[in-house]
Structure 1
Amino acid sequence: MNWDDVEAFCQVVEHGGFTAAARALDRPKSSLSVSVARLEEQLGNRLLERTTRSLRLTDAGESLYRDVARPLAQLREVASDTLAKGARVQGTLHIAAPYEFGAHHLAKVACTVMAQHPQLKVHLDVEHARVALFDRNYDIVFSAIEHAFAPSTVVVRRVFSLARGLYAAPALVARHAPLAAPEDLHALPLLAGADDTEWEFTLPGGATAKLEVRNPRLRSGNASVRLEAALAGLGVARITSTFCAAAVAQGRLVPLLADHACAPLKIYAMLPGRRLVPAKVRAFLDALEADANLPNANTVDQ
């Protein structure tokens, strides 16, 4: 029996199909199909029932998967730990991140790390929707949501804290009375994130306050959409300072309530709970921490 074929079969099952498994393994879909077909021929049993829309284990396939999946997963874990002990940064690094952080902060770091390590490839998925934890075999998932409910197989390795502020077009600001406190924002249209229910502030004296986000003019998880709406004078957006720095420098946006600090955007770098962190993951996180494009970022190993 060819154990590579058995591994291919298990990966197809675990990823729910040939296409997802091929993407996760960085292998042609056709090679996975050949491996599974060869395994079925060797065993004299059909293992998977395939249709255009779904994939289902046969009784023989379910029995084989039940017997071999755990030992193979343990072998993969041992192999990952062995690679992690080495100093070479190589292989394919799979990363997922929310748009505001991924598009604006990770691209430069990915290029830097690949230039430093010619044997490393990076697959970076920048998502507008919330990323499910490691559903596509990611090495790192960056998330703005604190996964207190994450399974024990997931660990938070570092936390990046990005400064945020309130910004609006000068023309919109000129049409309203000056703002003195967060509650004055109710007089202006708000541009909210997909999950925003309230905005938290630290007041000049150190106290905290929260503003309920009521009936925003725009709600979108895409920071670029909120930025464009703010530039068009359609409302007040809460955005990371680095994301709108160019527009502020050009005078197209102005900060509001500058003496009221918005709660920062915390980005959690989550990894599968392996005993050792692979060299490729360490290299990327270290480069991200050192990147000058994150002047307001704090990192904490957990």
Structure 2
Amino acid sequence: MNWDDFDAFCQVVDHGGFTAAARALDRPKSSLSASVSRLESELGTRLLERTTRQLRLTDAGDSLYRDIARPLAQLRERAVEALAQGATVQGTLRVAAPYEFGAHHLAAVACRLLRDHPQLKVHIDVEHARVALFERQYDIVFSSLEHTVAPATVVTKRVYSLERGLFAAPSLLAGRAAPAHPDDLEALPLLAGGEDQRWGFRGAGGAEADIELRNPRMRSGNAELRLKAAIAGIGVLRITSTFCAQAVAQGLLQPVLQAWTPEPLKIYALLPGRKLVPAKVRVFLELLEQEAAGSL
């Protein structure tokens, strides 16, 4: 009897179906289906009821899952910890990150990692919405944590603090008095992130101010969409300076309220609460720190 078939069965149940499990495990869906079918044949009972819309455990499947799911999960964890003790960077590194961060800061690190470690594969998902922690068995989930508190089972490492600024198209600002204080922004249309409730600022001499985003002209978690709206003159944008650097250099956007600095975007790496960090994760974070320091 093949214990990999038992593991495949548990993975399909854990992920709610063959397609999701295949994506998470980077295995063909047909391979998982064959494993479960083989297990059902060997046990002489049906474990899953399959339909085009959903997957349901039979009574026998439910009983088996409750008996073996936890031990198999512990075995997988021990295997990961054993690999972490070795120096070989291998396997598949699965990463999720907010678009505003991932699109501009992970590419160089991933390429360096792949060049240096030919036995490694990297999967990176850049998301416009909030990333569900480890829903797809990510090794690292990057998050700003501005609106999310990480569970106690997650290890949190701060890796980046990204400078943000306020920017607007020259056409929007033409004929208007330049804002001198954050409160003056209430007279301008604003482009807010999907979950932004307030913008905080720090001024000269340590002065602090913040504004509530009661009625922004646009609200979207998609940073690229907000950037295009700002270039079109729709509103004032708060965004990381690196993300809009090209638009500023081309004169499509200009800084607003430069005497006041918006709160930086703090990016954290969230890791599953393992005793040992796999080599692929450890090396990736080391390279990311080098990139942040400008030494990559």
Which position in structure 2 is the counterpart of 1:101? Answer: 101
Shift of 1:174: 2.1
Shift of 1:210: 0.7
Is the CA contact (8 Å cut-off) linking 1:6 and 1:39 kept in structure 2?
Answer: yes
One-letter amino acid matched to 2:141: V
Shift of 1:171: 2.1
Quote the sequence identity (%).
71
User: After superposition, what is the alpha-carbon deviation per residue over 1:212-270, rounded to whole angstroms, capped at 9, x for unaligned?
Assistant: 11311111101111111111111100000110111112222111111211001111210
Give the alignment of 1:281-292 within 5 angstroms. Answer: 281-291=281-291
Q: Distance in 2 between matches of 1:162 and 1:94?
A: 23
Give the alignment of 1:66-145 within 5 angstroms. Answer: 66-145=66-145
Give the alignment of 1:79-228 within 5 angstroms. Answer: 79-146=79-146, 149-228=149-228
Which position in structure 2 is the counterpart of 1:64? Answer: 64
Shift of 1:175: 2.4
TM-score scaled by length of structure 2: 0.96
SS at match of 2:230: helix
Q: Distance in 1 between matches of 2:16 and 2:252?
A: 47
Q: Distance in 1 between matches of 2:85 and 2:158?
A: 20
Q: Distance in 2 between matches of 1:15 and 1:233?
A: 44
One-letter amino acid matched to 1:170: P
Shift of 1:7: 0.6
Is the CA contact (8 Å cut-off) linking 1:156 and 1:271 kept in structure 2?
Answer: yes
Q: Distance in 2 between matches of 1:109 and 1:159?
A: 13
Is the CA contact (8 Å cut-off) linking 1:146 and 1:268 kept in structure 2?
Answer: no
Query: Comparing 158-167 with 148-157, which one deviates more in the overlay?
Result: 148-157
Shift of 1:36: 0.2
Query: Comparing 10-19 with 203-212, which one deviates more in the overlay?
Result: 203-212
Describe the shift of the 1:148–1:218 C-alpha distance in structure 2 as closer, same or farther (beyond 3 A): closer
Query: Comparing 19-28 with 203-212, which one deviates more in the overlay?
Result: 203-212
Q: Distance in 2 between matches of 1:225 and 1:278?
A: 36
Q: Distance in 1 between matches of 2:147 and 2:189?
A: 31
User: After superposition, what is the alpha-carbon deviation per residue over 1:110-154, rounded to whole angstroms, capped at 9, x for unaligned?
Assistant: 112111111110111111111111111110111122576433321
Q: Distance in 1 between matches of 2:146 and 2:11?
A: 28
Q: Distance in 1 between matches of 2:113 and 2:176?
A: 47
Structure 1 residues without counterparts, runs of 5 or longer: 296-302
Is the CA contact (8 Å cut-off) linking 2:158 and 2:266 kept in structure 1?
Answer: no
Q: Distance in 1 between matches of 2:237 and 2:276?
A: 40
Give the alignment of 1:21-36 within 5 angstroms. Answer: 21-36=21-36
Q: Distance in 1 between matches of 2:286 and 2:231?
A: 34
Is the CA contact (8 Å cut-off) linking 2:147 and 2:195 kept in structure 1?
Answer: no
SS at match of 1:165: strand
Shift of 1:95: 0.8
One-letter amino acid matched to 2:10: C
User: After superposition, what is the alpha-carbon deviation per residue over 1:93-117, rounded to whole angstroms, capped at 9, x for unaligned?
Assistant: 0111111111121122211211111
TM-score scaled by length of structure 1: 0.94
One-letter amino acid matched to 2:83: L
Q: Distance in 2 between matches of 1:142 and 1:89?
A: 20
Is the CA contact (8 Å cut-off) linking 2:49 and 2:58 kept in structure 1?
Answer: yes
Shift of 1:207: 2.1
Q: Distance in 1 between matches of 2:241 and 2:11?
A: 41
Residues matched between the structures, number: 294
Q: Distance in 1 between matches of 2:148 and 2:196?
A: 18
Describe the shift of the 1:215–1:260 C-alpha distance in structure 2 as closer, same or farther (beyond 3 A): same
Root-mean-square deviation (Å): 1.4
One-letter amino acid matched to 2:162: L
Structure 2 residues without counterparts, runs of 5 or longer: none
Q: Distance in 2 between matches of 1:245 and 1:149?
A: 30
Q: Distance in 2 between matches of 1:171 and 1:144?
A: 31
Is the CA contact (8 Å cut-off) linking 1:96 and 1:138 kept in structure 2?
Answer: yes
One-letter amino acid matched to 1:267: I
Is the CA contact (8 Å cut-off) linking 2:159 and 2:289 kept in structure 1?
Answer: no
Q: Distance in 1 between matches of 2:288 and 2:159?
A: 11
